[in-house]
Structure formats: C-alpha cells, structure tokens
Amino acid sequence: MTTTAKKVHEGRNVKRFREMLGIKQDALAAELGDDWNQQKISLLEQKETLDPVILKDVAAALKIPAEAIQNFDEEQAVNVIANTFNERSFENAFANNCTFNFNPIDKMIELYERMLQQQREMIEKLEKLIEKK
C-alpha cells in the first residue's frame, strides 16, 4: 500500500492564517513593505507554492513560523477535531474533573460548639442574677 504525499497549498494557508488572526490583506501588505499592496497579497494567496524568501517574510509579518504555512493541512486538522470532540466532550471535561471538598459534619460540629458556648454564657448570666437576689 502506497500513500501519496498530498501537496499543501501554501498560498491558501497564508490566507487561512491571515483570516484566523483577523488581519486584512491591506494590513498584511503594509506590514510587508512599500512594494506590496492588496492585489499582490491576493495573487500570493492563489499560488500553490511560495518563494522561500517571501514565505519567510510573510510568516514574520503574521508572527507565525514559516513551517506552519508549509505544513498546515486543513483536512487533517478537521479530522482531528471531528474525531476528538463531540457534542458532550466539553460537558464531560467539566463534570469529570470536579472535586467537592464540602463536609457537612464539620459545619454541624462548628454549629454545635457555638450553641454550647452560647448556652454556657447564658448559664453564667443567670447564675449572676440569682446571686444578686
């Protein structure tokens, strides 16, 4: 069984990363320098492979590694997400990791001790009243 290496579309990956970062083509062009404009960025995003120097400059402007642009495969990313997460995965993540450290017996003992202390104070007051008479 042979597997063929799927060619990554570097220009499309530039577009995906740019959109994920919320950067417009004009802003990326301005970051790359005076000889770049929106149309040039649009053409760059249509190219399947990019010149290594341009790729490095674009990656630096986007503040991501050049390898991310070269190796990102949307199909694999979608497969990982589809196979990892389902509608109950977040629910389980929160429910299974909860530890409750509430012990009602401790609270009952504290309440009982306070009640005993109040009772002792009341007895002392009553004894003082009886002695005065």
Q: What is the pLDDT of residues 75-90, one digit of tens each?
A: 776 666 666 666 555 5
Identify which has the larger pLDDT, 68 or 57.
57
**Do 17 and 76 share a domain, yes or no?**
yes
**Do 79 and 21 share a domain, yes or no?**
yes
What does the CA dihedral 57, 63, 66, 70 come to, rounded to 10 degrees?
A: -110
Closest C-alpha among 40, 45, 50 to residue 19: 45
Residue 97, domain member (yes or no): no
**Do 21 and 56 share a domain, yes or no?**
yes
Mean pLDDT for the chain? 83
E strand segments, the chain: none
How many other CB atoms sit within 10 Å of the CB of residue 36? 20
pLDDT of residue 56: 94
Domain that includes residue 118, residue range: 103-132
Q: Does the pLDDT value for residue 38 go beyond 80?
A: yes
**Do 24 and 82 share a domain, yes or no?**
yes
Q: Is the dihedral of CA 50, 53, 55, 57 positive or negative?
A: negative
Closest C-alpha among 69, 83, 85 to residue 21: 69
Nearest 5°: CA angle at 19, between 15 and 87? 115
